[in-house]
Structure 1
Amino acid sequence: LRQFLIIPGLPIGVGLALCKRLLEEDEELHVCLACRNVGKAEAVRAALLASHPTAEVSVVQVDVSNVQSVIRAARELKQRFQRLDYVYLNAGIMPNPQLNFRALFSGLFSRKVIHMFSTAEGLLTQEDKVTADGLQEVFETNVFGHFILIRELEPLLCHSDSPSQLIWTSSRNARKSNFHLEDIQHSSGQEPYSSSKYAIDLLSVALNRNFNPRVRPASLFCKCFHFDTVQWNRSPGTLLELQSLVRLLSGCKLKFMGSGNNLNRKYKLCE
């Protein structure tokens, strides 16, 4: 039975690696790339089909920072598909991150140096702005747009005979101290990315409780994945070499502690 996966956000880096790995496991998987930039999405589609010619890869346009775009995309997806087995909520932004040199140099000589580089807490300054919908851009892109998409796609997701899976891209940068219920958009703070990722973690728990009550079979499972030891293309250039060192140190830490979830080796996100 062919399964269906949708990935909001251009699948580069972790998202692209996920697509390739899943297609290696199941070449009959239908992958739908839900992206704002259709041209770039088509380029990724061509690359995936070149390496997996029997796969089905489609594209739908969506901008998760625009509610009307999300609703239009959901309407199109409901016309195309009868169900969705996996939704990998990968779209997200960290607005114009700049290196905070003062925090960098003070952190280098503190006991929190590995924590600083693995989470970037206090290390990067961000410039958030308001979208056309009147919401903070980071909140709408990373959290609210995805939430609207999930609610609009409920008819394709909630089937007790074949439960769907939602996988959020979260982060170790998600900090409770940066999230406040009275300011869920983090319009008054300095860490909108951290706040949005903590909101994702909370929302994941809430969705599981909502869709998986004990009185009836589960219809949807929601999970979070974070890429604390993955080097990504939004890091300022001066951090890339330092991140490589931190990935090695983090890997050693996981191995020393006997963890079975070492992020430096291949693994499946969807079980």
Structure 2
Amino acid sequence: MQALAGKVCVITGGAGSLGLAAARLFVDEGARVVLVDLSLAALEEASRDLPAVQVMLVAADVSSAQDTERYVQLAVERFGAIDVLFSNAGNFGTVAPIADYPLDIFDAVQAVHVRGALLAAKCAVPHMRDGGSIVITSSVAATRGDAGVYAYITAKHAQVGLMRCLAKELAPRRIRVNTVHPGPIDNGFQLAVEQGLGEAIGADGTEFFNGLIPLGRHGRPEEIARSVLYLASDQSSFVTGTTLMVDGGMSC
């Protein structure tokens, strides 16, 4: 039996590797999916192999209240009430000493990760079916602190607080809310992070991260997506308010 048969799922950050991997898996499991990202062209390119009858593409800025209201309304108009919200949009920012950290970059990262996740829930929850699921992509970064990574790590910690508040509020409706915490993923987003780190430490950033992971490698988007599917589906019917680590043991 398909785990998401007939369910309506909204995925932000839909053109990225994790959003797309989740979309493919959700479609295979019977869902109708609304993919949201900043660029329609990127969405169209990424989703070529997905069945148009099950997938809707919407270009939107997740930090904009107006854009968020619009993509939620379009999702409801096309497919009906929402069962799953996968709040996955993200950006990294930069690495710099606190005295030099650019405030505009700090604000931009909070706007996407924290404001974006809050807006998604604020606009989607009134249109969600009871018994649904909200999954927020946080990170292993939410379990640690690293000098210079002020915007990203702060945002990832904040998402956990948001998740816990939502989990308490929405429990009477049986809407479960959880965060998923990937470690380094083998994708373009992580590669850009590692190139910046490599320049800062004078070493190979990818090998540096592999050395921190007990399993000794980066995760694959498909592996993280399977954990998202677990949280999105009724397989996790008694799981809410939790932080699911999918990091190869990096947070041990």
Q: Same fold (TM over 0.5)?
A: yes
The residue type equivalent to 1:235 in the other structure is V
Specify whether residues 43 and 94 from structure 1 end up closer, same or farther in structure 2 by C-alpha distance, changes over 3 A only.
same
Aligned match of 2:110: 139
Determine whether 1:20 maps to 2:18: no
What is the rounded CA distance, in whole Å, between the counterparts of 1:88 and 1:7 in structure 2? 5
Structure exhibiting the larger radius of gyration computed from Cα positions:
1
Aligned match of 1:250: 213
The residue type equivalent to 1:246 in the other structure is F
Determine whether 1:171 maps to 2:139: yes
Q: 1:67-121 deviations in whole A, cap 9, x for unaligned?
A: 22222222323322322222111111112x25x6xx9xxxxxxxxxxxxxxxxxx
List aligned pairs for 1:83-162, cutoff 5 A.
83-95=81-93, 97-98=94-95, 127-129=102-104, 136-159=107-130
List aligned pairs for 1:27-106, cutoff 5 A.
28-46=30-48, 48-49=49-50, 53=51, 56-95=54-93, 97-98=94-95
What is the SS of the residue equivalent to 1:88? strand
Say which of 146, 151, 155 aligns to 1:196: 155
The residue type equivalent to 1:78 in the other structure is V
Specify whether residues 54 and 78 from structure 1 end up closer, same or farther in structure 2 by C-alpha distance, changes over 3 A only.
closer
Kindly, what percent of the aligned residue pairs are identical? 19
What is the rounded CA distance, in whole Å, between the counterparts of 1:74 and 1:36 in structure 2? 15
What displacement does 1:58 show? 1.0
What displacement does 1:220 show? 0.8
Specify whether residues 150 and 21 from structure 1 end up closer, same or farther in structure 2 by C-alpha distance, changes over 3 A only.
same
What is the rounded CA distance, in whole Å, between the counterparts of 1:166 and 1:77 in structure 2? 15
What is the rounded CA distance, in whole Å, between the counterparts of 1:10 and 1:234 in structure 2? 19
The residue type equivalent to 1:11 in the other structure is A
Specify whether residues 128 and 44 from structure 1 end up closer, same or farther in structure 2 by C-alpha distance, changes over 3 A only.
farther
Query: Does the 8 Å CA contact 2:15/2:42 hold for their aligned counterparts?
Result: no
Query: Does the 8 Å CA contact 1:33/1:58 hold for their aligned counterparts?
Result: yes
What is the SS of the residue equivalent to 1:235? helix
Aligned match of 2:14: 10
Specify whether residues 208 and 190 from structure 1 end up closer, same or farther in structure 2 by C-alpha distance, changes over 3 A only.
same
Say which of 165, 170, 179 aligns to 1:211: 170
The residue type equivalent to 2:142 in the other structure is A
Determine whether 1:237 maps to 2:199: no
Q: In the comparison of the two structures, how many residue pairs are matched? A: 213
Specify whether residues 229 and 35 from structure 1 end up closer, same or farther in structure 2 by C-alpha distance, changes over 3 A only.
closer
What is the SS of the residue equivalent to 1:91? coil
Specify whether residues 148 and 63 from structure 1 end up closer, same or farther in structure 2 by C-alpha distance, changes over 3 A only.
same
Determine whether 1:228 maps to 2:228: no
Query: Does the 8 Å CA contact 2:7/2:32 hold for their aligned counterparts?
Result: yes
What displacement does 1:145 show? 2.2
What displacement does 1:249 show? 5.2
What is the SS of the residue equivalent to 1:10? coil
Question: Between Structure 1 and Structure 2, which shows a larger proportion of helix residues?
Answer: 2
Q: 1:26-75 deviations in whole A, cap 9, x for unaligned?
A: 2x3212111121111111221x32xxx48611111210122222222223
What displacement does 1:192 show? 1.8
What is the SS of the residue equivalent to 2:45? helix
What displacement does 1:126 show? 5.7
Specify whether residues 59 and 128 from structure 1 end up closer, same or farther in structure 2 by C-alpha distance, changes over 3 A only.
farther
The residue type equivalent to 1:192 in the other structure is A
What is the SS of the residue equivalent to 2:140? coil
Query: Does the 8 Å CA contact 1:211/1:220 hold for their aligned counterparts?
Result: yes
